[in-house]
């Protein structure tokens, strides 16, 4: 059973278009051509080019529930086909380049459909007309494993997966994994290529960090974030994609 599109009022668009391109306007034009009742939310368009790991991270920040089903449309990276996937009451339209498997480690193949890259508006029309089953079933789709944490002895190593416009840096380490690894042990927190350890303290939010100092906290979706209160963590620590955050039990 699929969602009645009458309850689907929002389309969240995520892309690597950046914000100064006409391509985003053309995409919206095609969606509005299907229905002028479409409500489009530009969720994020500064994904690093073709970076599906970052795209998956951004999509996981979306908040949605059964009372307000949504459509998520991701335009990140090149692909000859797009996957249309229903998860619970929501629909995800994503390039067939491994992104779906990074968002959902476990996929119900009965809820998979496929369209050509130039037929995204047709996919939206099928969903809008409550005709999801008219789309072609996806016999297979590209799958990738997400960036893996590296755990060896007393070390847990994560990698940077997103840097926001303020220089805050997000890593692929979640609160549950951190708590399991550390347990009741003391620990050090270190940024790769930076000689000194950070304070071994998890803050609740950036406001708790003394002005000008660095610290880490967990965001609402569970990922760990490195920040500098009234500063820029990316510049201070010279962080790039894949820079490591290291947790050491002591």
**pLDDT in the model for residue 63:** 82
**pLDDT in the model for residue 88:** 87
Asked if 116 and 238 sit in the same domain, the reply is no
Domain boundary among 107, 137, 167: 137
Would 132 be classed as within a structural domain? yes
Q: For position 115, which CATH number holds? A: 3.40.50.10790
Would 142 be classed as within a structural domain? no
Low-confidence ranges of the chain (pLDDT < 70): 1-9, 65-67
**pLDDT in the model for residue 5:** 47
Asked if 125 and 177 sit in the same domain, the reply is no
Asked if 82 and 27 sit in the same domain, the reply is yes
Domain boundary among 81, 107, 137: 137
Asked if 192 and 216 sit in the same domain, the reply is yes
Asked if 99 and 18 sit in the same domain, the reply is yes
Q: For position 191, which CATH number holds? A: 2.40.30.90
Asked if 53 and 164 sit in the same domain, the reply is no
Asked if 69 and 173 sit in the same domain, the reply is no
Domain boundary among 84, 105, 137: 137
User: Can you give the residue range of the structural domain that contains 104?
Assistant: 5-137
Asked if 110 and 175 sit in the same domain, the reply is no
The domain total for the chain is 2
For residue 65, what is the DSSP state?
A: B
Asked if 128 and 159 sit in the same domain, the reply is no
**pLDDT in the model for residue 147:** 85
Would 95 be classed as within a structural domain? yes
Asked if 118 and 157 sit in the same domain, the reply is no
Q: How far apart are CA 75 and CA 15, in angstroms?
A: 5
Asked if 109 and 185 sit in the same domain, the reply is no
């Amino acid at each position: 059973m699929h969602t009645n599109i009458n309850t689907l009022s929002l389309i969240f668009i995520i892309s690597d278009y950046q914000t100064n391109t006409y391509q985003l306007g053309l995409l919206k034009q095609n969606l509005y051509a299907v229905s002028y009742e479409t409500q489009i939310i530009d969720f994020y368009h500064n994904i690093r080019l073709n970076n599906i790991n970052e795209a998956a991270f951004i999509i996981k920040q979306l908040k949605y529930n059964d009372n307000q089903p949504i459509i998520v449309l991701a335009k990140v990276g090149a692909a000859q086909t797009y996957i249309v996937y229903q998860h619970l009451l929501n629909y995800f339209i994503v390039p067939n380049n491994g992104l779906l498997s990074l968002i959902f480690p476990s996929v119900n193949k009965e809820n998979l459909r496929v369209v050509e890259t130039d037929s995204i508006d047709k996919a939206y029309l099928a969903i809008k007309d409550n005709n999801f089953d008219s789309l072609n079933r996806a016999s297979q789709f590209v799958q990738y494993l997400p960036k893996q944490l590296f755990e060896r002895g007393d070390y847990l190593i994560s990698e940077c997966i997103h840097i926001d416009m303020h220089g805050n840096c997000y890593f692929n380490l979640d609160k549950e994994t951190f708590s399991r690894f550390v347990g009741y042990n003391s620990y050090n927190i270190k940024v790769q290529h930076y000689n000194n350890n950070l304070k071994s303290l998890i803050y609740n939010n950036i406001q708790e960090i003394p002005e000008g100092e660095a610290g880490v906290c967990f965001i609402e979706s569970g990922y760990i974030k490195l920040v500098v209160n009234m500063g820029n963590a990316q510049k201070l620590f010279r962080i790039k994609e894949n820079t490591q955050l290291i947790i050491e039990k002591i």
